[in-house]
Structure 1
Amino acid sequence: MSRIFSVLTLLAALLVAPNMAGAQDLDPENTIYMDLKDGRVTLQLRPDLAPNHVERIKKLTRDGFYDGIVFHRVIDGFMAQTGDPTGTGMGGSQEPDLKAEFTRTRFKRGVLGMARAGNPNSANSQFFIMFADGDWLNGQYTVWGEIVGGMEHVDAIKRGEPPQNPDKIIKMQVAADAS
């Protein structure tokens, strides 16, 4: 009986430990909390892939730029886009546009990419979250992070182009600054 208990305890520890380790390994300076109506989403930033885009996202987050911004373009089975203060998809921040930082990183479910106009060097403040894999975007848009917790809250964002009564980012904060 004690042997069965020991085996079950070991299995439980093996199942729980990786999840706990992942949460503890996140660098607070490169983690963002995005609060949505249904709960908190944890974004892991990837300065190794796109250092300039990561710095821009952190600066705008710390300035409160994203607080209250709507998801203006949400396509089922594709992505949710936000980051435009006008809510139309035509606006951005007062910061200058960024030079592309394209990599071979795949656009898969939960990946965070920078939106841009036709010019590859036109990303500013708008970004999107992938609902599903989108390999046709690989090498065409900058990947700057990924969702590591709360994807179910992203899945609950109201769909539309634009959505009626769109969902919004309640608050975004860099984890290192969170109280």
Structure 2
Amino acid sequence: MLPVRLYTLRAVGACMLALAGAGHAAELPARATLAEVIAASPASAWRPLDPANTLYMELPGGRVVIELAPVFAPRHVANIRTLVRERYFDGLAVLRSQDNWVVQWGDPNEAQPKSLGTASATLPGEFTIPLRKDRHFTRLRERDVYAAQVGHSAGMPSARDPASKQAWLAHCYGMVGVGRDSGADSGNGSALYVVIGHGPRHLDRNITVVGRVVAGMALLSTVPRGPGPMGFFDQPGQHVPIAALTLAADVPAAARSALEVMRTDSATYQKAVEAQRNRGGPWTKVAAGHIDLCNAPIPVRTVAAGAGAP
């Protein structure tokens, strides 16, 4: 097992430090910490990001890595790929930062918007998918107030309703959605946002969710809050410029972010969830014994160059 460094959307700093330099599997104690679970994880518990479904957003402070979810939003993901490959987002900006809500990016010039090129201007909302397409669903045992069942599918937090035979992605921290107007078909992927606050699960099944940020979240969550209505910036100088938004598949292998994501269909991830339900270590005095869908982080790690990551 290669030396690793842990990144999760809500990783505890102590876990990150404990994992630095972890080099071999270890026997787990009865109440293992998340760091101990990851240190003992086999290589089979991890998967590389698919370059065809990974976006790199280059901001002044560094790179944001987004994993797309074509299983849940195939038409929007395809449209976003077209926009990215035709360089639509290059030179646009982060134009909204609303506290405890979202950070949004897109075209700040409503008077003379940038051409969408060959991408579709409107798409039907992909708010849910048929349950049969919800592959490899790993269910949490906890009850949820927003859905009959919650868990993870395709490496994303998701929910299901067996009665309606529908499945959907959940609005957890770090999830990326498509901005739209009132019409369900008014979004196309040219305006995207990421959740930066407490999971607004009431948005589930009302907006197309296309993926999640797997690295560089701090570059978005720390953007100064916009002073305008809904957190929009009211001065161009407040915008955060996007140098480029590219598909990892179009970036030379040597310049790609070498990341691996823990497989949510693995036994190791079940141990990671249990470690979060019943936090071990000397600091915790009362373990919760339960976990919320949006508080079950999916670990992400960097791997050494040449280790087979995309």
| Distance (whole Å) between structure 1 residues aligned to residue 62 and residue 46 of structure 2 | 17
Whichever residue aligns with residue 207 of structure 2, its letter is Y
| Ranges in structure 2 where 5+ consecutive residues have no aligned partner | 1-22, 27-34, 129-167, 227-231, 253-310
Q: What is the aligned counterpart of 1:109 among 162, 173, 176? A: 173
Change (3 A) 1:85 1:16: farther
1:176 counterpart SS class: helix
Partner of 1:162: 233
Whichever residue aligns with residue 123 of structure 2, its letter is L
Change (3 A) 1:50 1:99: same
TM-score norm. by structure 1 comes to: 0.83
Change (3 A) 1:52 1:17: farther
Q: What is the aligned counterpart of 1:75 among 90, 98, 111? A: 98
**Which has the larger Rg?**
2
Change (3 A) 1:54 1:19: farther
Deviations 1:28-74 (A, max 9, x none): 00001111111111100000000010011111111111112112221
Q: Residue 85 of structure 1 contacts residue 92 of structure 1 at CA under 8 Å; is this kept in 2?
A: no
Shift of 1:141: 0.2
Deviations 1:75-107 (A, max 9, x none): 011101112251x59957533211100023210
| Distance (whole Å) between structure 1 residues aligned to residue 66 and residue 40 of structure 2 | 21
Root-mean-square deviation (CA), in Å?
A: 2.7
Quote the sequence identity (%): 32
Q: What is the aligned counterpart of 2:194 among 124, 129, 152? A: 129
Partner of 1:54: 77
Partner of 1:177: 250
Partner of 1:28: 51
| Distance (whole Å) between structure 1 residues aligned to residue 180 and residue 201 of structure 2 | 17
Whichever residue aligns with residue 83 of structure 1, its letter is G
TM-score norm. by structure 2 comes to: 0.50
Instruction: Report the structure, 1 or 2, having the larger helix content.
Output: 1
Structure 1 residue ranges (4+ consecutive) displaced by more than 6 angstroms after TM superposition:
19-23
| Ranges in structure 1 where 5+ consecutive residues have no aligned partner | 1-7
Change (3 A) 1:55 1:162: same
Q: Residue 72 of structure 1 contacts residue 89 of structure 1 at CA under 8 Å; is this kept in 2?
A: no
